[in-house]
Amino acid sequence: MSARVETDDDIRLMFAADASGLRYVPEGVARPESVEEVMEVVRRAADAKTPVTPAGMQTSTTGASITGEGVLLSLRALSPIIDIDRQARLVRVSAGAILGDVKRLAAAEGLLLAPDPTSEEESSVGGAIACNASGARTLKYGATREHVQSVKVVLASGEVVDFRRSGLEKNTAGYAFAHEPVDWFVGSEGTLGVVVEAELSLLPLPERVIGLEIPFANERDALAFVVAARESSRVFPRCLEYFDELAVEIARNSEGLVPDSGTMVYVEQEAETLDAWLALSEQHNAQVDDVRVFDGEQALATARRIRHAVPATMNERGSGHRHAGGRKVSTDWAVPYRRLHEAITMSRELARQAGIAQAVTYGHAGNGHPHQNYIARNVEELEAIERVVEETLRSVVAMGGTVSAEHGIGKLKRRWLPLQLSPIELGVMRSVKRELDPLGILAPGNIF
């Protein structure tokens, strides 16, 4: 039985950090092993009006999975993959299952679990649902939300409920946001309920995928190529990822399999369209003689490692400065993809004016969504970087963009949410929160 709340210092410290660089020591930790135990923990917390923050693998980059208030509810032990239905293309999983494990099980059945955050080998299913995690292949398949068919949720009262997508194609009964309650919990960052199980839809595993690393001498050509590839009727990428010069340099130091200089676009395509890609690359001044082709599962895994090396290296660099109050500062904004070059150029100009080092910029250019990683070496640099980020976000929102496309709001990005959402929009969100969690005990400090 592990519904009890542990208060030993060593256990509390084990759950005090995530990938945000923040640190909050919980007052207690619960590590339930069954849905009934989760219900009991939450019921007791509701009786005592004690806050409860759900956590999966704690890879959150926004401090969403840590808390200094009340109980940290770790779902890691709730890990079985319950069953997979090949005919219906559905997999039922417990919240603590690791996304990468579920993917491998699906692949063994000839099926694809589409959500692909870079952290998929370290991310729980519950965490991916609660953050609506997405990745490079979101360009073709959509984010986690599109693949969640049902959720079993322990509500703030401790009661358990099941929500399933309606499957309806037409529905005019009431407000649209009440039509698919599954959507309330996807992206809710632990604030509306504890996801204990979910049913995820699967796709047929593509027969052949090729990856291409396409080098460019400069950012302008690379990002014009991205727009052309999105709008082409001859190529149909499942991902379109950009690496600026600094990101290429990091990838080169870790794997070596990247261009010697300049920027790079990485694309993946199901089926054979190499000629069409080369023609499009040539039209946009790519260095076509240096295009590298990744063919087959093993080669694609190498390409994925190259991509992963960039955030992993930047996390390491950031942690090296924690003693002086520094850390990695990671932006997660997105704009309509046609405006990406304009937005990145604007952010670089703001950094230049503030006298801070340029961010390493990489990521999901096809969705207008780059990651920009700055390294603050001390408190002063942190403050200067945060000012640049805030100015960048103001301009991004003015371009029709979002302050967070992938990693959620958590605690770190809370102050930037009102840049994007109006008081009316925030008010409606607060009403939903009040209705589902009237005592405000779930994940306090996340989002609001």
Ligand X SMILES: Cc1cc2nc3c(=O)[nH]c(=O)nc-3n(C[C@H](O)[C@H](O)[C@H](O)COP(=O)(O)OP(=O)(O)OC[C@H]3O[C@@H](n4cnc5c(N)ncnc54)[C@H](O)[C@@H]3O)c2cc1C
Asked if 334 touches ligand X (CB under 6 A), the answer is no
Asked if 22 touches ligand X (CB under 6 A), the answer is no
Q: Dump strand ranges (E) for 262-412.
A: 263-270, 292-295, 327-331, 360-364, 369-376
CA–CA separation, 243 and 219 (whole Å)? 9
Nearer to ligand X by Cβ, of 291 and 314: the residue is 314
Nearer to ligand X by Cβ, of 312 and 426: the residue is 312
Asked if 91 touches ligand X (CB under 6 A), the answer is no
Nearer to ligand X by Cβ, of 22 and 133: the residue is 133
Q: Min. distance of Cβ 118 from ligand X in angstroms?
A: 4
Asked if 199 touches ligand X (CB under 6 A), the answer is no
H-run or E-run covering 112: strand 111-112
Q: 13 Cβ partners below 8 Å, 6+ apart?
A: 25
Nearer to ligand X by Cβ, of 284 and 321: the residue is 321
Q: Min. distance of Cβ 168 from ligand X in angstroms?
A: 26
Asked if 407 touches ligand X (CB under 6 A), the answer is yes
Q: Min. distance of Cβ 86 from ligand X in angstroms?
A: 25
Nearer to ligand X by Cβ, of 57 and 350: the residue is 57
Q: Could you tell me the sign of the dihedral formed by the alpha carbons of 287, 290, 296, 302, in that order?
A: negative
Q: Single out the residue of 351, 401, 361, 373 nearest to residue 222, CA to CA.
A: 361
Q: Min. distance of Cβ 11 from ligand X in angstroms?
A: 16
SS3 category, 27: coil
Q: Min. distance of Cβ 297 from ligand X in angstroms?
A: 20
CA end-to-end span of the chain, whole Å?
Answer: 33
Q: Could you give phi then psi for residue 163, rounded to 5 degrees?
A: -125, 135
- Residue in this structure with the two tokens 């371009």, named with its chain if needed: 399
Asked if 311 touches ligand X (CB under 6 A), the answer is yes
Site for ligand X in 215-254 (CB under 6 A): none
String of contacts with ligand X for each residue 428-447, x by CB under 6 A = ---------------x--x-
Nearer to ligand X by Cβ, of 135 and 181: the residue is 135
Q: Min. distance of Cβ 102 from ligand X in angstroms?
A: 12
Asked if 133 touches ligand X (CB under 6 A), the answer is yes
428-434: which pairs have CB atoms within 8 A and are 24 or more residues apart? Answer: 432/177, 432/184, 432/192, 433/191, 433/192
> Would you state the structure tokens that stand for residue 109, as one six-digit string?
């059945």
Q: Min. distance of Cβ 95 from ligand X in angstroms?
A: 4
Q: Which of residues 3, 5, 130, 250 is near ligand X by CB under 6 A?
A: 130
Q: Which of residues 3, 22, 42, 57 is near ligand X by CB under 6 A?
A: 57
Q: Single out the residue of 261, 254, 273 nearest to residue 211, CA to CA.
A: 273
Asked if 135 touches ligand X (CB under 6 A), the answer is yes
Asked if 55 touches ligand X (CB under 6 A), the answer is yes
Asked if 402 touches ligand X (CB under 6 A), the answer is no
Q: Do the Cβ atoms of 18 and 59 come closer than 8 Å? A: yes
CA–CA separation, 406 and 186 (whole Å)? 12
Q: Could you give phi then psi for residue 25, rounded to 5 degrees?
A: -90, 120
Task: List contacts with ligand X (CB under 6 A).
Answer: 18-19, 53-61, 64-65, 75, 95, 117-119, 123-124, 126-128, 130-131, 133-135, 189-190, 194-195, 311-312, 315, 406-407, 443, 446
